[in-house]
Amino acid sequence: MPHIEVLANSTSIRAPGYTLVPDHGQGTVQAAVQPTAGRNKRGTRFAGIAGADTTVAQQNAVLKHLADLDRDSQRDVQIAVPSKQRDSAGKVQKKTTTNVRRILMSQKTFANHLADEEALLALQHQHPSSATPRVPALRLSRSTPNAKRSWTSEEQSTHGEALQTGALRAGRNVSRGTRDRLDDEPLLKSQVPSAPSEEVMEALLSGPPLSYSAARAAPSPSGKPQRHFCEICGYWGTIKCMKCGTRVCGLECKGAHDDGRCLKFYA
Amino acid sequence: MAPRQAKPAERVLPNQTLIIDNGAHTMKAGFATSEPSLEDCQVIPNCLAKDRGKHVWIGAQLEKCNDFGEIAFRRPVEKGFIVNWEAEKAIWDNTFFEQNAKLVCDPQNTNLILTEAPNTPTPLQTNCDQVIFEEYEFASYSRSLGPSLNAYHDIQNLFGKLPREHHLAALPAECLLVIDSGYSHSTVTPLFNGRPIQQAVRRLDIGGKLLTNYLKELISIRHYNMSDETYVMNEIKEAVCYVGEDFRRDLERTWKGTSANRKKPLPDEQDIVVDYVLPDYNAHKHGFMRAHDPSLTAKMRKMGSMSGAGDVVEDYMTLGNERFTVPELLFNPGDVGMKQEGLPATVLQSLSGLPPGLWPAMLANILVVGGNSRIEGFMSRLKTEIRQLAPSECVVRIARAPDPIKSTWLGGAYLAANPVALKAVQVTREEYNENGSVWLGKVFSGAARR
Ligand SMILES: [Zn+2]
Ligand SMILES: [Zn+2]
């Protein structure tokens, strides 16, 4: 029984066991194989992506893969501190404080600490009155500055949605009149907004750190489609194995995949 | 009403200052001098390592290790943060406090400048403070955001201006955007007069470790099973990887073609494909890269089919698109499904947390530190993409620190070389004993003043 996946809205070429995904990875193979040139149409370009890798199983596979790539050791090795070193360390006669004893005994991993932090943040979210300074005081835009927009429109949008604190807004207007070192740089003159006032800078600098998760870089707002590569040779992964979802570049690599690596998720 | 406060005038610091940039992969450590120099900085593996003979090596002892085959590591620093103090203490004791230690020091007569990665969870900061003062009893201590120490460099000199006047030496750069691409991750930190603008700090969860593991995975599928050979994979990565100017072009250039129509490489394409000879831990402790020799491949294949085991032949592998698809993850994390923008866009995300009035100064003063910045082609690709993303009115200047590994340490050494600047950041053990660890956390975060 061939497994065939029909991708909605896409001009995929089907054959037993695999799907040719109209990817954005315009390799020569695809250009040659795909006769209907619909690649310039937005809908066609993204349809394959949207329909291709969004099942729960595939998302979990991606997460597991990322976790694997984050590991320090392939095996779960236990490496104990050598006992000789443990004994002779530091000043033996000194008493260890309760704090230090607790810290040295702790077996917590970073994942544990991160879970603690997120639980605390969730709690503060429910009870804002007990919030600690971890909650950002200044709410600034998290969207990426758009290069192609002019400064004027950028400023408007920033004023409109991002700079909600009165101090910042006022400070910026005040700073119009002041001269700054930067104004002497001829290349930077005139077109750009002037540097913020001292007051604004002090407000910015006294803002508390973000949480670990909040500091993580965001995904592309435009939803840039993912590129896929052939598992076997690394070339564009235009073909998707219907049994396991792995990408390969052509029939030759599909053969190699079937021989050695397919169904690894089920094994 | 006001709590008891230590009077700064009474604080007297010892003359010796130890600076530790405590990275997940290596710790950079050394004592400050009046003329800061890279020579004073030691790079020490921040790990315990167990070799295949079950011997456990601690930190700097690895210098004497000759067999890295199947070696396994335990790292106290996870994601850039000191998570396991039991292991970290073993490494620090070996480096600083045992007899014959590499950088032996008496903490009670030493000031400590210790770095931390951005966005450290508070309990880990508290643990660190308590170990420093309660276990080691350093005379004074400051816990500094690693990237911020780079502000003490002569930044304008890095951009080609004349060296700074001596009296300005301890003044931090006014505006500086530090990109630190290291082992655990890549962070973007805007600094104003050496102080971080915390709300705008951003992190891309791709660092040297992930690149090494990705290369290991690709090679294990395509060549040998290298799953237990992280050490050698890191060496291969450092030897062969490069960031391409034109990813699609390079991918076409390294395409093998179909079996019916094997693609012959054009003359200008041959330089991408290379051979890497693996170490045998006898004749050569380290592997090396050399030009690809197709005839050798054919010969080896023939030998393999004719004779069984017994032939002593060198182990080598041919590498093509792995060379550039691996570091490409710093620019396209989506290539492994990570839902984050690449490093250049992360810089712009950081800027979006700042008033637009600061963008020109930040974009004109970008300093790159961390080991990944040494990957061939990384700097020019980074500059090209930031230039494309940034407002066209802004000047983009971007420099790599002369020694991107030791740069943060050296910045700390410049800070320590100025007694006034040092005194302003250090907290003494007496102050800690009097005010406690919650107070100390507030001082370091800027929420409390002395
Ligand atoms: Zn292939
Ligand atoms: Zn499969």
Compute the average pLDDT of residues B175-202. Answer: 97
Rounded distance between C-alpha atoms, residue B317 and residue B329, angstroms: 22
CA B89 / ligand 2 centre spacing (Å): 47
* Distance in Å, alpha carbon of B34 to nearest chain A alpha carbon: 29
DSSP conformation class of A216: B
Q: Specify the long-range contacts of residues B83-87, CB closer than 8 Å, at least 24 apart.
A: B83/A108, B83/A109, B83/A110, B83/A113, B83/B124, B84/A106, B85/A103, B85/A104, B85/A106, B85/B127, B85/B131, B86/A81, B86/A104, B86/A105, B86/A106, B87/A81, B87/B48
- Per-residue pLDDT band for B271 (boundaries 50, 70, 90) equals confident
Tell me which chain B residues have a C-beta less than 8 angstroms from the C-beta of A231: 221
Higher pLDDT pick, A147 / B164: B164
Nearest Cα residue in chain B from A163: B355
Measured between CB atoms, which of A65, A104, A234 is closest to B336?
A65
Strands (E), B370-442: 398-400, 427-428
pLDDT digits (tens, 9 = 90+) for A243-252: 888 999 999 9
Which letter, b or e, does each residue of A135-164 get, where b requires 16 or more Cβ atoms within 10 Å of its Cβ? ebebebbeebbebeeebeebbeebeeebbe
- Phi, psi dihedral angles at A57 (to 5 degrees): -60, -40
**What was the pLDDT predicted at B189?**
98
Ligand 1 center to A208 CA (angstroms):
49
Query: Under an 8 A CB cutoff, do B218 and A72 touch?
Result: no
Tell me: pLDDT of B5 over 60.
no
The interface predicted TM-score (ipTM) is 0.91
- As a whole number, the mean pLDDT across chain B is 90
How far apart CA A38 and CA A25 sit, in angstroms, is 14
Q: Please check whether residue B199 touches A, CB under 8 A.
A: yes
Closest-CA distance of chain B to residue A100, Å: 6
Query: Can you give the pLDDT at residue B1?
Result: 43
Please, what is the average pLDDT of chain A?
66
What is the CA(A25)–ligand 1 centre distance, in A?
A: 13
Is B338 within 8 Å of A86 when comparing Cβ atoms?
no
> Which residues fall within 8 angstroms of residue B84, CB to CB, at 6 or more apart?
A106, B74, B76, B78
- Binding-face residues of B in 227-266 toward A, CB within 8 A: 227-228, 230, 248, 251-252, 254-256, 258-259
Query: Which residue of A lies nearest to B329 if distances are taken between CA atoms?
Result: A227
**DSSP state, A226?**
P
Least confident of A58-72, A165-179, B63-77, B286-300: A165-179
Longest dimension (CA), chain B: 90
Res. A8: pLDDT tops 50: no
Residues 161-220 of A with CB under 8 A from B: 163, 168, 172, 175, 181-182, 185, 187-188, 191-196, 200-201, 204-212, 214-220
Q: What is the pLDDT of residue B14?
A: 95
In tens, the pLDDT along B47-67 reads 999 999 999 999 999 999 988
| pLDDT band (50, 70, 90) for residue A78 | confident
Is A90–B94 a contact, with Cβ atoms under 8 angstroms apart? Answer: no
Which among A68, A72, A124, A152 is the top mutation candidate for probing chain B, defined by the most B β-carbons within 10 Å of its own β-carbon? Answer: A72
Best residue in B198, B331, B443 for a mutation probing chain A (most A CBs within 10 Å):
B198
Q: Tell me: pLDDT of A265 over 60.
A: no
- Nearest-CB residue to B198 (from A144, A207, A229): A207
Among A81, A136, A220, beta carbon nearest to B341? A220
Q: Which of A33, A99, A198, A253 to mutate to test the interface with B (most CBs of B within 10 A)?
A: A99
A-contacting residues in B 388-417 (Cβ below 8 Å):
388-395
Q: Quote the minimal CA–CA distance from B449 to chain A in Å.
A: 12
Could you please report the per-residue DSSP string of A99-129? HHHHHHH----HHHHHHHHHHHHHHHHH-GG
* Per-residue pLDDT tens digits for B91-117: 999 999 998 899 999 999 999 999 999
DSSP A211: P
What is the nearest CA distance from B130 to chain A, expressed in angstroms? 7
- Which residues of A, range 15-74, sit inside 8 Å of B by Cβ? 26-28, 53, 62, 65-66, 68-74
Per-residue pLDDT of B382-399, as tens digits, reads: 999 999 999 999 999 999
Look at residue A4 and tell me whether its pLDDT is greater than 60.
Answer: no
Compare CB distances from B205 to A116, A151, A216 and report the shortest one's residue.
Answer: A216
Predicted confidence at residue B294, as pLDDT, reads 79
Greater model confidence, A47 or A187: A187
Query: Is A88 part of the contact surface with chain B (CB cutoff 8 Å)?
Result: yes
Dump pLDDT digits (tens) for B21-54. Answer: 999 999 999 999 999 999 999 999 999 999 999 9
pLDDT tens digits along B340-369: 999 999 999 999 999 999 999 999 999 999
User: Is B78 close to A79, i.e. CB distance below 8 A?
Assistant: no
Distance from Cα A245 to the centre of ligand 2, integer Å? 6
Q: Are B84 and A106 within 8 A, CB to CB? A: yes
What distance lies between CA B221 and its chain's CA centroid? 28
Cβ-based contacts of B337 with chain A (< 8 Å) = 53, 62, 65-66, 226
What is the Cα–Cα distance from B359 to B355, expressed in whole angstroms?
A: 7
Instruction: Point out the residue among B131, B205, B348 whose CB comes nearest to the CB of A144.
Output: B348
Q: Is the pLDDT confidence value at B148 over 80?
A: yes
Size of interface A-B (CB pairs under 8 A): 287
Cα B188 to its chain centre, rounded Å, is 13
**Smallest Cα distance from A141 to chain B, Å:** 6
> Which of helix, strand or coil describes residue A167?
helix
Taking the C-alpha atoms of residue B223 and residue B320, their distance in angstroms, rounded to an integer, is 12
Contact B237, B207 (CB under 8 A): no
CA distance B274 to chain A (A): 15
Tell me the shortest Cα–Cα distance from A4 to chain B, in angstroms: 24
For residue B134, list chain A residues with Cβ-Cβ distance below 8 A: 97, 99-100
Q: What is residue A222's predicted lDDT score, i.e. its pLDDT?
A: 84
Bridge partners of A15? A18
Residues on chain A touching B360 (C-beta within 8 angstroms)? 182, 188, 192
d(CA B349, CA B372): 20
Q: Tell me how far the alpha carbon of residue A260 lies from the centroid of ligand 2, in angstroms.
A: 9
B107 Cα to chain A: minimum distance (Å)? 10
Structure token digits, residue B382: 């980074």
Q: What DSSP letter does each residue of B53-111 carry, written as one string?
A: T-PEEEGGGGGG----TT-EEE-SEETTEE--HHHHHHHHIIIIISTT-TT---GGGEE
- Contact assignment for A250 to B258 by CB distance below 8 Å: yes
CA–CA separation, B429 vs B413, rounded Å?
Answer: 21
CA torsion angle for B211, B213, B217, B223 (degrees, to 10)?
A: 90
Which ligand does the CA of A259 lie closest to? 2
